[in-house]
Amino acid sequence: MTTLFFWIFAVVVAGSALLAITRRNGVAAALWAASSFVGIAGVFVLLGAYFLAVVEVLVYAGAIMVLFLFVIMLLNLREADLKVVQGPRMHVGGAILGALFLAGLVWTCRRSGLFDVPLDAKGPVGETGAVAAPLFRDYVLPFEIVSFLLLAAMVGAVLLTKRRLS
């Protein structure tokens, strides 16, 4: 039963991701990406990580993707505007970058032994405390530094878009 559901979610995740990068319509692409996030949340549920599953939907599908959609809807790009970022050079460059990124990801997962963990290894990940303890106790400093980096990026973005500072 679990295996069946895993395959259903896997197909949803991979299929939606594929559709998200091949759609020409920006709104459709954003919706497929959101569907992919919901699929990932399903995989988290199967692994017993209920809190992470909920956060995945809440943050990625419910907030980040909505903001993307927001921007896409406001810009309302036409086909002609997209010509700038299309063409063979972009495709080849994108493919090479993507392959490099995938290779790096696989290499890191291999080295850290993530691939050797069996699928049904259910730890205490379902508990909220199990997520909170590393974030707010064991790794509190790196976590805070990362949040400051994000804040800096956000302030920078606001500053760049302001024409006049008064």
Partner 1 sequence: MTYVLGKLLHIVIVAGAALPGLAAVLVWAERRVSAFIQDRLGPNRVGPAGLLQPIADLLKFIFKEDVIPGHVNKTLYVLAPAMSLVPALVAFCVVPYARGMAIADVNVGILLVFAISSIAVYGVSIGGWAGNSKYSLLGGVRASAQMISYELALGASCVPVFLVVGELNMEAIVAWQKANGWLVFYLFPAWIIFLVSSYAETNRLPFDLPEAETELVAGYHTEYSSMKFALFFLAEYIHMITASALSVTLFFGGYELPWVTLPGGAWGTVLSGLVFFGKISFFLFLFIWVRWTLPRFRYDQLMNLGWKILFPASLVVVLATAGWIAMVTP
User: E-assigned strands of the chain?
Assistant: none
Give me the least distance between CB of 137 and partner 1, in Å please. 15
Q: What DSSP state is assigned to residue 142?
A: H
Q: In the structure encoding, which two tokens stand for residue 108, read together? A: 């890191």
Q: What DSSP state is assigned to residue 138?
A: I
Binding-residue pattern over the window 121 to 140 for partner 1, x denoting contact by CB under 8 A: -----xxx------------
State which of residues 8, 18, 27, 109 lies at the interface with partner 1 (CB under 8 A). 27
Which of 27, 106 has the CB closer to partner 1? Answer: 27
Which of 102, 135 has the CB closer to partner 1? Answer: 135
Q: What is the DSSP string of 49-68?
A: -HHHHHHIIIIIIIIIHHHH
Residues written for the chain: 166
Residues 54-93 that bind partner 1 (CB under 8 A): 54-55, 57-58, 61-63, 66-67, 69-70, 73-74
Which of 66, 100 has the CB closer to partner 1? Answer: 66
With 0-12 CB in 10 A as exposed, 13-18 as middle and 19+ as buried, what is 88? exposed
Which of 17, 54 has the CB closer to partner 1? Answer: 54
**CB-side neighbour CA atoms (13 Å) of 72:** 15
List residues near partner 1 by CB under 8 A: 25, 27-28, 31, 34, 38, 50-51, 53-55, 57-58, 61-63, 66-67, 69-70, 73-74, 126-128
